[in-house]
Amino acid sequence: MSERSPVLSVRGLSVRFMMPGGEAVAAVTDVHFDVAPGECLALVGESGCGKSVLASALLGLLPANARTAGTALLGDHLDLLHADERTLARTVRGRRIGLVPQSPAAHLTPVRTVRSQLGETVAELTGVRGRAALRAAAEAAAARAAFPSDHLDRHPHELSGGLAQRAATALALAGDAPLLLADEPTTGLDRDLVDRTADELRRHVDADGGGHALLMITHDLNAAERIADRVAVMYAGRLVELTDANAFFGAPGPRHPYSRGLLAALPERAFTPVPGMPPELGALPEGCAFAPRCERATDICRAVLPPPREGFACHHPASVPWPEDARA
């Protein structure tokens, strides 16, 4: 991983949704992380934990009732949370941040073929001109995302969900943006295509001497293990752990009990789901939000929010011996 300045530096990022009657729902709370050149950071957690809201905040795609706080510096100076729509539309989306969306069909123009959309994207973002050059560039972008060339002249409604996902990935890769933000990039793909897509995203990170970076939001821990340098675990809108991927998936393993629960749920591991359900963001419990589902929880967990320390936020981290006087 590079010692150069981060491609993305997030500090204190919070997102609140203002509801009718004045209630504020905390979807993301006080998130801190960096993504360095040459790094893939995998952001993982169950549905509803705030991962996609965080991605939308970085791209300026939140609904009108959202309120943000904190900073998210792209490079050395551009704060994504305070940039105006003109700046985001003209200089950020596609050019400096390539997006692989969670719902690709919504990002594909329904009345145009995949080939024409790829060609237009290449022309706009890279300056390539000429029919033959654009055709070759579109086919190269499609090949990078394992999109079949004999489907390039089809419209989005003629594609399966997996093919639509690959088309969206091809569009994101076409601009060669310094930061790639991939929101569930392997949805709808079989295992071979998951591996191929993950490997292509990794190649994007490693291109040009490792000057690119990837923030991958995913439920697929196998894909994360395959390509991530670090893993950030989100629960109920907060980061509960941020650690090296080798330590997370290998030894000593994650420190937070929720992180360990996610790993234990994998079929090739214990195949044991995390008990219970995540809390509603509008009705978070006092203290640690994971406490109602955690077998290690004590009175302090249910009353006091654990401060982040050494890359995790837990009163009783899993790899620390259980204190005999802490049982409640």
pLDDT class of 327 with cuts at 50, 70, 90 = very low
Count of C-beta atoms within a 10 Å radius of residue 304: 12
Query: Are 226 and 198 contacting, i.e. CB atoms less than 8 angstroms apart?
Result: yes
pLDDT at 325: 44
- What is the rounded distance in angstroms from the CA atom of residue 113 to the CA atom of residue 66? 34
Residue 314: pLDDT over 80: yes
pLDDT at 40: 97
pLDDT at 70: 98
* Axis-axis angle for helices 114-126, 131-144 (nearest 10): 110
What's the rounded mean pLDDT across residues 217-243? Answer: 96
* Axis-axis angle for helices 191-210, 161-174 (nearest 10): 0
Residue 19: pLDDT over 90: yes
Q: Residue 157, exposed/middle/buried by CB under 10 A (0-12, 13-18, 19+)? A: exposed
Q: What is the pLDDT of residues 21-60, one digit of tens each?
A: 889 999 999 999 999 999 999 999 999 999 999 999 999 9
pLDDT class of 256 with cuts at 50, 70, 90 = very high
- Strand partners for 235: 238
Q: What is the pLDDT of residues 212-228, one digit of tens each?
A: 999 999 999 999 999 99
Q: What is the pLDDT of residues 294-312, one digit of tens each?
A: 999 999 999 999 988 779 9
- What is the rounded distance in angstroms from the CA atom of residue 262 to the CA atom of residue 45? 8
98-102, 243-247, 260-264, 293-297, range with the lowest pLDDT: 98-102
The dihedral through the CA atoms of 186, 188, 194, 199 has a sign that is: negative
Mean of per-residue pLDDT scores for the chain = 90
Q: What is the pLDDT of residues 168-208, one digit of tens each?
A: 999 998 888 999 999 999 887 888 889 988 998 998 899 87
22-31, 62-71, 193-202, 251-260, range with the lowest pLDDT: 193-202
pLDDT class of 321 with cuts at 50, 70, 90 = low
- What is the rounded distance in angstroms from the CA atom of residue 77 to the CA atom of residue 229? 25
**The CATH homologous superfamily of the domain defined by 8-96+177-326:** P-loop containing nucleotide triphosphate hydrolases (3.40.50.300)
Domain positions in the chain? 8-96+177-326
What's the rounded mean pLDDT across residues 68-89? Answer: 95
